[in-house]
Amino acid sequence: MSLKILLAEDHHIFRQGLVKIIESEESLEIVAEVDNGDDALRRIVELQPDVAVLDISMPGMTGLEVARKVLAEKLKTRLVILTMYKDEDFLEEAIDLKVKGYVLKSNTADDLLKAIECAGRDESYISQLFSDVLVRRREKRKQVMLKNPNLDTLSPTEKVILKKISLNKTSKQIADEMYISFRTVQKHRANICSKLSLNGWNALLTFAVKNKSSIE
C-alpha cells in the first residue's frame, strides 16, 4: 500500500522536480499539489494524506504555521519541512511542532525520500547538515537539567504550557490553543512556579525564554 503524499511548494519548476523525485518511488503517491500554505492546510484536512511535504516559506501560511495548525487540530498527517536556510531557530520550532522530517532544498533526492519514508513510519529524519545544531541542543538541555532537575517533575501538560510561555504566549492564547480554560492555565502556571522554585510570573517567563530550546 503506497503512502499518500501532499506537496506544497510555491515555485512551479522546483515543485515539478520534487514530483519527479517522489513519483520515482512506487511506494509513494502524490494525491495533491498546492502552491500556498492556506490551500495546504485545507487539502490536508480534506484528504488526510499520510505525509505532507511543506515549503517553510510560501504565500499564505508558512510551512511552520501549517504545522502548528496540524498539531493543534490533532490531524494524523505527518509533516516534512523543506527549507533553503540552515537556521537553528526554524529547526527548533519544527521539532517543537512535532515535524517528522526537516530537509534542506540543496540536499540530495535521497535525503527527501528518506525523510518521507521515515515520516510514513512515524519516525524522525533531519538532514545530516543539521547534526551540529542537534548536538548543541542536546548539550544545552543536559546543562539545563543539571541546574534544574525539577524540570523532570513537570507533567506533560505543564511542559507544553512552559514551552508556550517560552514563545511569549499569554494565558488566554495558551487556553485557546489547548482547548482548556483560562483558570486551568493559571493553575498550571502556579504549579510550574512551585515545582521550579520560581517567584512569580516574571520569573517564570524569564526562565522559559532563557531555556526555550531545552524545554520539550
| pLDDT tens digits, one per residue of 170-200 | 999 999 888 899 999 999 999 999 999 899 9
- The whole-angstrom separation of Cα 15 and Cα 6 is 11
- The whole-angstrom separation of Cα 177 and Cα 84 is 29
The answer on 120 and 24 residing in a single domain is: yes
The answer on 151 and 81 residing in a single domain is: no
Average pLDDT, the chain: 88
Judged by average pLDDT, the poorest of 85-94, 105-114, 169-178, 192-201 is: 85-94
Report whether pLDDT(114) > 80: yes
The answer on 167 and 100 residing in a single domain is: no
* 100-125 mean pLDDT: 91
The answer on 117 and 10 residing in a single domain is: yes
Highest mean pLDDT: which of 44-48, 154-158, 159-163? 44-48
pLDDT reported for residue 181: 93
Question: Given 90, 106, 132, which residue is the final one in a domain?
Answer: 132
Looking at the structure of the chain, the number of domains it has is: 2
The answer on 123 and 36 residing in a single domain is: yes
The answer on 30 and 119 residing in a single domain is: yes
What is the domain range of residue 21? 3-132
Residue 154 sits at the vertex; the CA angle it makes with 74 and 196, to the nearest 5 degrees, is: 135
From 16, 190, 9, select the one nearest 83 (Cα to Cα): 9
The answer on 81 and 37 residing in a single domain is: yes
From 111, 207, 113, 121, select the one nearest 166 (Cα to Cα): 207
Residue whose entry in the numeric block shows the C-alpha cell 516574571:
202
Report whether pLDDT(133) > 70: no
pTM: 0.68
* 133-160 mean pLDDT: 73
DSSP H helical ranges for the chain: 12-23, 37-47, 63-72, 88-96, 109-120, 131-147, 156-166, 171-178, 182-195, 201-210
On whether the CB atoms of residues 163 and 215 are closer than 8 A, the answer is yes
The answer on 150 and 43 residing in a single domain is: no
pLDDT reported for residue 128: 74
- The whole-angstrom separation of Cα 214 and Cα 198 is 17
CATH number of the domain encompassing residue 44: 3.40.50.2300
The answer on 152 and 102 residing in a single domain is: no
The answer on 123 and 58 residing in a single domain is: yes
Q: Which residue has the higher pLDDT, 53 or 94?
A: 53
The answer on 170 and 210 residing in a single domain is: yes
213: Cβ contacts below 8 Å, ≥ 6 apart: 92, 137, 140, 141
The answer on 42 and 59 residing in a single domain is: yes
- DSSP secondary structure string, 130-187? GHHHHHHHHHHHHHHHHH-GGGGGS-HHHHHHHHHHHTT--HHHHHHHHT--HHHHHH
Q: 9: burial class by Cβ within 10 Å (0-12, 13-18, 19+)?
A: buried
Report whether pLDDT(76) > 70: yes
